[in-house]
Structure 1
Amino acid sequence: MHLTRFRFNTARLGSRRLLSSPQMLHAAVLSSFADLPKQRDDGSRVLWRIDSTSRAEIHLYIVSPDKPDLTHLVEQAGWPATGRWETQDYGPFLSRLASGDRWSFRLTANPVHSVRCKDEQPTKWTAHIGHLHQMRWLLQRQERSGFTVLEKTAEKRVTPDRDQHELIVHDQRTLAFRKSGNGKPVTLVTVTYDGLLEVTDPQALRRTLIQGLGRAKAYGCGLMTLAAR
């Protein structure tokens, strides 16, 4: 597995076009590989996420079984003369994960639930809108994903019943575009989670990090990354 980071040159038209279209960016990520990426036997796949620390500093993160070549992105949306991307072997880090480890994490996800308006109608996926529901969506998945979000001490809680975890939900976005090929409209609600976690099942967490969490993985959702606290 490989972890790659690329910085966009936000002054360039190519960057603005890619960042405004999840469909175009999805295609650009897939174009980083000589052969069309396929999900591996271990469930690993290409995952990507956009991180924005400011309007002028926006990064693309990619986790992938194969090493990508981002030359086309440097030419379209980077600094062709001096721009580079960073790719690291992700395997050693994944293999070192151990129960009890504590990490900061970030995840951009598409928190949805299945609803049925009428008994005779089929269920459909509907986005969680409120932050409490979005937070609960992640907390409901933490055990099987191999981690637990740390709880705050009582003195750090703003409200006793709604501020229990070291978890922030922010940057809610509604993405609307059409699928290439069939032209069907797609609308996604995405949010970013930042928090602190403790590893409870290293093998399950490794699966989460290489397989992704939730839906809409082709459009920049599901990639969780860890960082030292």
Structure 2
Amino acid sequence: MNDHPVLARIHLNPHSRDVQRDLRDATQMHRTVMRMAPDGLGNSPRHLAGLLYRVDETDTASTLLVQAHHLDPAGLPPGYGHAQIKSLAPMFAALRAGLVVRYRIVVSPVKRERLPLEDKGARGRVIPLSGADADQWWNRRAAAAGLELHMLTPTSLTPVRPRDSKAPPMRHSLLLYDGTAAVTDPAALTNALLNGIGRAKPYGAGLLSLAPAGTA
């Protein structure tokens, strides 16, 4: 596999029934993007492929971003969309402390419910966060990932609930964060870029995108 991952930018065809289905069902979207990864990756194929993805939507278009060690757009359904692939090696090479960047990420901020001391060993419910609590969560996770946030703009997205009967019946609340930040720890940031941040990675969360702050 490549030393650095690649990024596929897929301009989705709004007339494709496969696209329409996937935009309604995150479980199906995950299955579709995994078709671009190599076969034979065992019991944790998404993790071993290094695959993360996000759907960026505007009023007029939807773009699917997929990051992995290796991607083959030929695995997508016919007529799914136009794919452009680029190496992310230049981005990783440019990371240095003090670099100011623009970022975008979809995350699923949560906290685990605290249980009484007598319930030792039990795990509390996972509770979605919103508002200032979610912003504080993202500030903490960004700092741990080697970013000092200068600005953050949250946008609430439609929650997703896995439709696979084998998946836990938990709804994932999603937030899109855009903003600017300074790199404080290039090694920690590299790890976050490669592995994603937070929960719900199979459902379009966790992919951190960076660009120089001065670009349009």
2:153 equivalent to 1:178 = no
SS of structure 1 residue aligned to 2:192: helix
- Conserved 8 A contact 1:15-1:76: no
Shift of 1:21: 0.7
Could you list the runs of 4 or more consecutive aligned residues of structure 1 that deviate by over 6 angstroms after TM superposition? none
- Alpha-carbon distance between aligned partners in 2 of 1:183 and 1:223, rounded to the nearest angstrom: 21
SS of structure 1 residue aligned to 2:173: strand
2:5 equivalent to 1:20 = no
TM-score by length of 1: 0.81
Any residues of structure 2 matched to 1:86-105 within 5 Å, and which?
A: 86-105=84-103
Q: Deviations over 1:128-163 (max 9, x none)?
A: 03x21111111112222011001xxxxxxxxxxxxx
The runs of 5 or more residues in structure 2 that have no matched partner are none
- Alpha-carbon distance between aligned partners in 2 of 1:123 and 1:11, rounded to the nearest angstrom: 44
Q: Which has the higher helix share?
A: 2
- Conserved 8 A contact 1:105-1:227: yes
SS of structure 1 residue aligned to 2:98: coil
Q: Deviations over 1:101-143 (max 9, x none)?
A: 11111000010011136553531211003x2111111111222
2:63 equivalent to 1:62 = no
* Residue in structure 1 matched with residue 144 of structure 2 by the alignment: 144
2:69 equivalent to 1:71 = no
Shift of 1:69: 1.4
| Percent identical residues | 26
SS of structure 2 residue aligned to 1:63: strand
Q: Specify the code of the residue in structure 2 equivalent to 1:138.
A: W
Relative distance call for 1:112 and 1:200 in structure 2 (3 A) is same
Aligned length: 202
- Alpha-carbon distance between aligned partners in 2 of 1:101 and 1:11, rounded to the nearest angstrom: 41
Relative distance call for 1:45 and 1:34 in structure 2 (3 A) is closer
